[in-house]
Amino acid sequence: MFESLSDGLQSAFKSLSGKGKLTEGNMRDGLDIVQKSMLEADVSYSVVQDFMKRVSEKALGKRVLLSLRPHEELVNIVHSELISILGPVDPSLHLKSEGPTIIMLCGLQGSGKTTTCGKLSQLLKEENIKPLLVAADLQRPAAIEQLHVIGRQLDVPVYSEPDNKDPVAVCKAGVDKARAEGARVVILDTAGRLAIDEELMSELKRIDKKVSPDQVYLVVDGMTGQDAVNSAGKFNETLELDGVIMTKLDGDARGGALLSVKHVTGVPIKFIGTGEHFDALEPFRPEGMAGRILQ
């Protein structure tokens, strides 16, 4: 669904004149265009500054291939740097060969965790793996029932204890059940809050300590821009994240937050959510995202 570097940006770059070498002079206009485009895409300012520095260092004094003009060379450098910092690509769930692989989803309320449980279940079912879902979001009143609905739709089991107020105990019991039943994967749907707070962080830390998940993924709402970046930093300080899943990239958002979140957490972007349905989960592709950010 995303194109490579847009025609608009390509033609704006054509204003760069001269041949043979990239210099500060002939690069300035092009880099200004890139900077503006990234800020408009909601990439955070400090990340844009870092990126511009990297590109300038790579480009300065670079002899331009005979077949290219400076603007084409600069486009190539910008594009490949963006792809390099958005990577590496790692859509694997790193399933263990034995015992249940425990996947913990965390994130703010409304970021898309429960929906993503369904999407990951669908993905696993395509590989003939039936996960057990654990309803550990005891904050959002409808979350447990929502997970049961997903379980029924996809024919995957859901573990819940509606009367238990302790999410740590629910996760532990869910994992024990998965172990006893020989499930290959157990996915923990943890609670979020409207904003980061101590209670949330302490709850997640306790779950993390109690069940030692194999993979911890942060689910981030791609429409929330700068807020996503701030919260991602906090989640990453509290838990050792293994990856990020950015949702709601089916809307107008240019997805610049994804670059900032990658920069802040340093962990791979695993998947992007592109809709509300179970099949709307795509393995992350830096090339497509680079084109979208640099429109």
Q: Is 174 annotated as a binding residue?
A: no
Contact, 231 vs 18, CB < 8 A? no
Find the shortest distance in angstroms from Cβ 238 to ligand GDP. Answer: 17
Q: Is 108 annotated as a binding residue?
A: yes
Find the shortest distance in angstroms from Cβ 289 to ligand GDP. Answer: 15
Rounded to 5 degrees, what angle do the CA atoms 88, 224, 254 make? Answer: 60
Q: What is the CA radius of gyration of the chain?
A: 22
The encoded tokens of residue 178 equal 């998965």
Listed ranges 113-121, 198-206, 207-215, 261-269: which one lies at the site for ligand GDP (CB under 6 A)? 113-121
Among residue numbers 251 through 280, which ones bind ligand GDP (CB under 6 A)? 273-276, 280
Find the shortest distance in angstroms from Cβ 275 to ligand GDP. Answer: 5
Find the shortest distance in angstroms from Cβ 230 to ligand GDP. Answer: 17
Query: For residue 197, what is the DSSP state?
Result: -
Q: Does 71 bind ligand GDP (CB under 6 A)?
A: no
State how beta strands 215-221 and 269-273 pair: unpaired
Among residue numbers 121 through 140, which ones bind ligand GDP (CB under 6 A)? 140
Distance CA 100, CA 32 (A): 50
Q: Is 193 annotated as a binding residue?
A: yes
Q: Does 57 bind ligand GDP (CB under 6 A)?
A: no
Name which of 9 and 219 has its Cβ closer to ligand GDP: 219
Cα distances (angstroms) measured from residue 223 to each of 112, 199, 257: 11, 25, 8
- Its sign, for the CA torsion 174, 176, 180, 182, is positive
Q: Is 177 annotated as a binding residue?
A: no
Find the shortest distance in angstroms from Cβ 3 to ligand GDP. Answer: 20
Q: Is 15 annotated as a binding residue?
A: no
Q: Edge to edge, what strands does the sheet with 101-106 contain? A: 158-159, 132-136, 185-190, 101-106, 215-221, 243-247, 269-273, 281-283
Distinct helix (H) and strand (E) counts, the chain: 11, 8
Q: Is 189 annotated as a binding residue?
A: yes
Q: Is 274 annotated as a binding residue?
A: no
The residue number whose beta carbon is nearest to ligand GDP equals: 273
State how beta strands 281-283 and 269-273 pair: antiparallel
Q: Is 136 annotated as a binding residue?
A: no
Find the shortest distance in angstroms from Cβ 176 to ligand GDP. Answer: 23
Q: x/- string (CB under 6 A) for ligand GDP, residues 188-207?
A: ----x---------------
φ/ψ of 174, rounded to 5, equals -65, -45
Which positions make up the binding site?
Answer: 107-114, 189-193, 247-250
- Binding residues for GTP, as ranges, are 107-114, 189-193, 247-250
- Residues in the site for ligand GDP, rule: CB under 6 A? 107, 109-115, 140, 192, 247-248, 250, 273-276, 280
